[in-house]
A and B are shown apart, each in its own frame.
Chain A
Amino acid sequence: MNRKASPLLWLALALIATIALFPYLWIVLTSFKARTDILTTPPVWIKDPSLFNYTNMLFYRGFSSYLLNSAIVGLSSTAIALTVGTLAAYAFTHYKVPAGNHLFFYILATRLGPPVAYALPMYFLFSKLGLLQSHVGVIVAHATFNLVLVVWMMKTFFEEIPAEIEEAARLDGCTEWQLFSKICLPISLPGLVTAAIFIFIFSWNELLFALILSAGKTTTLPAMIPSLAMHTGTLWGEVAAAAVVQTIPVIVFTFIAQRHLIRGLTFGAVKG
């Protein structure tokens, strides 16, 4: 880090922030506008702010249930990925797992290829099982897809635990289960929370799996937002309101996890 801030820096910052944030702020503003004020030339700021778009979107267009679906899918897939992934990461760091490298690369591979290549096979499976009308497909897809994040991230957190602590615990007669649950897991709690936040955000934001693997009543919010573009014209007020509702948790979580953003976005590959 070098030099202190200058007026020039603040000018540059203001410019950068405008480019980065204006489109989003414009949609926030739009969400409070009346329909007649949204499609005008020249564009207008805001006259009579109202919550009409929000109530219409949530209750008349059925988005309250899509919001609930997103929460169900997000929380369930986070819980599954976290449980399965943390155990696997623990095994990878503490024991010699037979063919561990192959398994590790296989888990990584789920994130390397394009999601559509995994979504279509899952579509075949879940349509054969008749589960396309339930939450199961999307939950399993999101959990699988985010497993690598948990495994990688928890691996780096487990590796950071000093060996002396674990050896001391073992000498004191800790069983393997106690070592995991009473020593390693509590120490790695920040990692667990960070991983949970990132999986939840990824699941909450995900479009492709949701589009392919859920239908009708079980669809999540991201998959339904584009559907507000109708033949008779796009309901931009409702789109804006849905976009704001969808992004609020993401922005809140981003601020909560701000110290670990780079770790989360690179699955622990970079420690920030």
Chain B
Amino acid sequence: MRALTSTSEISDEGAEYEDLSAREARRFMIICIVPVIVFLLLSSLLPAVIALTDSFRNLSLTDVFQHGQFVGLDNYRLALGEESKLYHSLWLTLIFVAIVVPAQFVLGLALAKILNRDFWGRRFWITILLIPTMIAPVVVGMIWRFMLMPSFGFMTYYLNKMGLFKSVPLFSDPTTAFIALMVVDIWEWTPFMMLFMLAGLFSIPQDPIEAADIDGASTWQIFWHIELPLLRPMIILAIMFRTIDASKTFDIVHVLTEGGPGNTTELMSVFAFRTSFVSWDLGIGAAVCLLIAFFSLLVASIFYKVVSRETVERAK
């Protein structure tokens, strides 16, 4: 856009020059944009087309005789049928997201309120507290597997002393296994929320807060009636980021429970992974993946609309 305005400004120097520079700008634009198009064609569009065609074929490795045959919509029927575990995994993912994201938000905001003041080594402390978010999720999973290992884990030892999980190990009970996964996710991602909320608190104007303070409003009133409404756009953005990310949770489940016991902790991504690479039914796996991709894009585009509306409202 800027190129067009600047060329029009110097247009009085001659139409020929303008024509030349516009052509040069156009050529450079093409040079800039062709690599990304070629790259995306090869890395995502081509695989998607292959996956789409394979989702109509029988690719079950256990079914040697029928292997590779065109089966029409059978894979989709199986993926969406009554016996399908897809719904179960979507339901689990929904519960998981509905609990971890609000928990991370409340804890992150509380931490941000605590850290939102001047003290020695502030930036250092904030960076240190981000370690759970920055290190690899697979390492997070292994750390907690070690801490919560039956009998010998550091946490298990003290939990056992308190009389907890003595007869049934933590990860053998569906409910406690699911709760443990949520606790680990909250531990991992609360610092991210904290960072977000700190940036928000830093950016909001201080005048209304000072004015309310002078008028004798309590700290709680200031927080509830002034700071929180001002933080609204930031909160929506943060919750959107976390919701999209939390719905994709894979690593910690893969390491801690592998979706078990049974399939009681099989979140969406874990279910899709296990259908393809544990049961080795790649045809159904492809169908499941495309359905999940479609479903997530739908949710994401709704979020995207909400966020753009927020920013427009903010600009008014």
Contacts and interface: CB of A to CB of B under 8 A. Distances in A.
Nearest to B1: A96
Contact of B143 (A24, A83, A116, A265): A24
A130 interface: no
Contacts of B234: 270
Task: For the complex of A and B, list the 10 residue pairs with the smallest distance between their C-beta atoms, beginning with the closest.
Answer: A121-B47, A5-B119, A121-B51, A205-B136, A91-B32, A176-B28, A117-B293, A112-B300, A95-B29, A88-B36
8 contacts: A4-B117, A4-B118, A84-B36, A115-B250, A122-B43, A207-B138, A246-B135, A247-B139
A108 B44 CA distance: 12
A141 interface: yes
B47 A201 contact: no
Interface string B288-304: 01101100110010001
Give the interface SS of chain B, mostly helix, strand, loop or mixed. helix
B152 A112 contact: no
Contacts of A120: 51, 272, 276, 282, 285-286, 289
Interface string A30-45: 1000000011111100
B48 A207 contact: no
A205 B140 CA distance: 11
Interface in A1-44: 1-5, 9, 12-13, 16-17, 19-21, 23-24, 26-27, 30, 38-43
Given A21-B129, A114-B248, 20 more contacts: A3-B118, A9-B117, A16-B129, A20-B129, A26-B147, A40-B152, A94-B2, A95-B32, A103-B37, A106-B40, A122-B47, A128-B50, A144-B43, A175-B24, A226-B138, A236-B146, A239-B142, A254-B127, A258-B123, A266-B241
A5 B118 contact: yes
Interface stretch (A57-65, A165-173, A185-193): A165-173
A118 interface: yes
A143 interface: yes
Interface in A148-184: 151, 163, 166-167, 170-171, 175-177, 180
Contacts of B96: none
Contact of B43 (A87, A93, A128, A140): A140
A225 interface: yes
Chain B, interface size: which category?
A: 35 or more
A121 B146 contact: no
Interface string B119-156: 11001011111111111111101111011010110100
B171 interface: no
Contact of B251 (A16, A140, A208): A208
Contacts of A141: 43
B259 interface: no
A46 interface: no
B268 interface: yes
A115 B32 CA distance: 27
Interface of A: 1-5, 9, 12-13, 16-17, 19-21, 23-24, 26-27, 30, 38-43, 80, 83-85, 87-88, 90-91, 93-97, 103, 106-110, 112-118, 120-125, 128, 140-141, 143-144, 147, 151, 163, 166-167, 170-171, 175-177, 180, 201, 204-208, 211-212, 222-223, 225-226, 234, 236, 239-240, 243, 246-247, 250-251, 254-255, 258, 261-262, 265-266, 269-270, 272
